[in-house]
Amino acid sequence: MILMSLFSLFTQAERYKMVRAIKWVDEIVEGAPYVTTLETLDKYCCDFCVHGDDITLTVDGKDTYEEVKKSGRYRECKRTQGVSTTDLVGRMLLMTKAHHSNMGRSDYQQHTDNFGSGPKGHSPWTGVSQFLQTSQKIIQFASGKEPQPGDTIIYVAGAFDLFHIGHVDFLDAVSQLSEKPYVIVGLHFDQEVNRYKGKNYPIMNIHERTLSVLACRYVSEVVIGAPYAVTKDLLDHFKVDLVCHGKTEVFPDRDGSDPYAVPRKMGILRTVDSGNSLTTDVIVQRIIKNRLLFEARNQKKEAKEMAVIQAMKRREEDKANERAQAVL
């Protein structure tokens, strides 16, 4: 999941709240042990443990899921290709507007080398790769639920870049405006976000932002490439009852007009205070401040992964040689 790749950028309290907001999560265990044991599974009445297909190792190089794997209480999900903290960190550090298409640039290559995926080897888990959106991915994330009679249809719009706890708190506050909320999030296209945000924003492209928002339990539907101005046609099409915006600055439309003029005139515009001051800019500053730490962490992580891959290859080669000797 896209937002999961950003968890290393958040504090412990922020991560707990982010996980609780994922719509597939029923309960979380705070302060869970790094090495998953059968005792942990039994304590929380879990049938099995699920993890991605990337390798997680202890300090001494042992598989953190070895015990549950041996007992048959381990399941594995294939990692989503192209979802990489390494790549997202690079986009923040390079500060270029065209970062989504700069994979071959020399400065981007220098970034990937610094983060571990250089000429010495490339780990399939830590290295940089390209995210490709498919209709199947969207179906997996979408709720597929239509508004029901009695629902309050609430529309919010924005970039929702680097989907973070500030967004979660805002959407949570919006959903509490009604007993039966149906929250529709309008996501602006990348070019539109760059127009009003400037610099190298958005960090995440429209496809990545779509899945991040869809994963939130407070969101019912997403409009991909929503118009910047909230028009009468849009409100009528979705039968919107309320339009909400946070306390962040509202940038004017291309012609200088108020993008919320229509819902404001209709009396259905609400300003919602999330009570959270975290912004995408703050996250970017965290990355810039800790750049060397992130580089060192990723290089160390990938070195461990490459060592495991080489060991696995050697075991396979040894087995092949043994089979060949047996035939002779």
Higher pLDDT residue, 79 or 34?
A: 34
- Confidence grade of residue 125 (pLDDT, cut at 50, 70, 90): very low
- Confidence grade of residue 301 (pLDDT, cut at 50, 70, 90): low
- Pair 111, 93: CB distance under 8 Å: yes
Work out the average pLDDT over 226-246: 97
The three-point CA angle 41-46-50 to 5° equals: 85
End-to-end CA gap in the chain? 49
Q: How many CB atoms lie within 10 A of CB 135?
A: 7
Strand partners, 194: none
Work out the average pLDDT over 263-280: 95
Strand partners, 85: none
As a whole number of angstroms, the distance between CA 177 and CA 179 comes to: 7
Residue that is written with structure tokens 């869809």 in the block: 214
- Confidence grade of residue 6 (pLDDT, cut at 50, 70, 90): low
DSSP structure string for 212-253: HHHTBTT--EEEET--SS--HHHHHHTT-SEEEE-SS-----
> Taking Cα atoms as reference points, which of 14, 21, 230, 201 lies closest to residue 96?
201
Contacts of 186 (CB under 8 A, 6+ apart): 155, 156, 157, 158, 222, 223, 226, 227, 230, 234
Q: Which pLDDT score is estimated for 250?
A: 94
As a whole number of angstroms, the distance between CA 223 and CA 188 comes to: 9
* pLDDT over threshold 60, residue 115: no
Torsion of CA 190, 159, 217, 89, to 10 degrees: 70
The whole-chain average pLDDT of the chain stands at: 83
As a whole number of angstroms, the distance between CA 155 and CA 198 comes to: 24
> Taking Cα atoms as reference points, which of 211, 191, 210 lies closest to residue 201?
191
* pLDDT over threshold 70, residue 292: no
Q: Which pLDDT score is estimated for 164?
A: 92
CA distance to 197, 229, 259, per residue, from 255 (Å): 16, 11, 10
The three-point CA angle 124-126-130 to 5° equals: 70
Whether the predicted model's global pTM rises above the 0.85 cut: no
DSSP structure string for 289-312: HTHHHHHHHHHHHHHHHHHHHHHH
* pLDDT over threshold 80, residue 89: no
- Confidence grade of residue 44 (pLDDT, cut at 50, 70, 90): very high
Strand partners, 262: none
What's the pLDDT tens digit per position in 138-158? 888 888 889 999 999 999 999
Q: 253, exposed or middle or buried, with CB in 10 Å at 0-12, 13-18, 19+?
A: middle
* pLDDT over threshold 80, residue 239: yes
Contacts of 39 (CB under 8 A, 6+ apart): none
As a whole number of angstroms, the distance between CA 180 and CA 241 comes to: 12
As a whole number of angstroms, the distance between CA 100 and CA 202 comes to: 10
* pLDDT over threshold 70, residue 197: yes
